[in-house]
Structure 1
Amino acid sequence: MPRLIKRLPADDRTNGWSALLPTRTPASPLEGEHTFDWVIVGSGYAGIAAARRLAELRQADSIALVDSGAVGENASGRNSGFAIDLPHVPGDSATSVEQGRRATRVNRFVMADLEQQIKAHGIDCGWERRGRYHAAVTGGVAASALGSYAANLEAWGEPYETLTRDALAQRLGTRYYHSAIYTPGTCLMNPAALVRGLADSLPPRVSRYEHSAVVEIETAGRAPYVRTARGRIRFGKLILAVNPFAQSFGVFKNRQIPMLLFASLTKPLTPAQQAKLGTQASWGITPAHGVAGSTLRLTPDKRLLIRQGFEYSPTLCTDEARRRAARAQHAQLLAARFAHLGELEIEHFWMGWLGISHNHAPAFGQVSERVYAAACCNGSGIVRHTAAGRLIAELALGERSELIDDFLVQGTASYIPPRPLRDLGVIWSIRREQAAGRAEV
Structure 2
Amino acid sequence: MVFSLFGCGSKPETATPSSSESNTEASSGTTNEQPAQEQITLNVWHQWSNDVNELKKVYEEAVAEYEAAHPNIKINTETLDTEAYKTKISAEFAGTASGIDVFYYWGAGAIKKIVDAGKLLPIDDYLTDDIKNKVLPGSTASFEFDGKTYSLPTFSWYMALFCNKELFDQAGAKIPTTYDELLDACKKLSQLEGITPIAAGAKDGWCAAFVYQAMALREVGGENINAMLSGKVPFSAEGYKEAADRVVELYNAGAFGKNPLEVGNDDANTAFITGKAAMRLNGSWFANQVYTDATATVDPSKVVAVKIPMIPGKGKETDYCGGFVESFWVNKETKYPKEAIDFAIFINEKVGKGAYEIGAGFSGWNGEFDESKLNPLFVQIKDLLNEGTTGVLAWDTSLESEPATIHNEQAQTLFAPGADTNAFVEEHIAVLNK
Tell whether the structures are fold-level matches, with TM greater than 0.5: no
TM-score, normalised by the number of residues in structure 1? 0.26
TM-score, normalised by the number of residues in structure 2? 0.26
Structure 1 or 2, whichever has the larger Rg, is 2
More strand by share: 1
Which structure is richer in relative contact order (CA contacts within 8 A, separation 6 or more)? 2
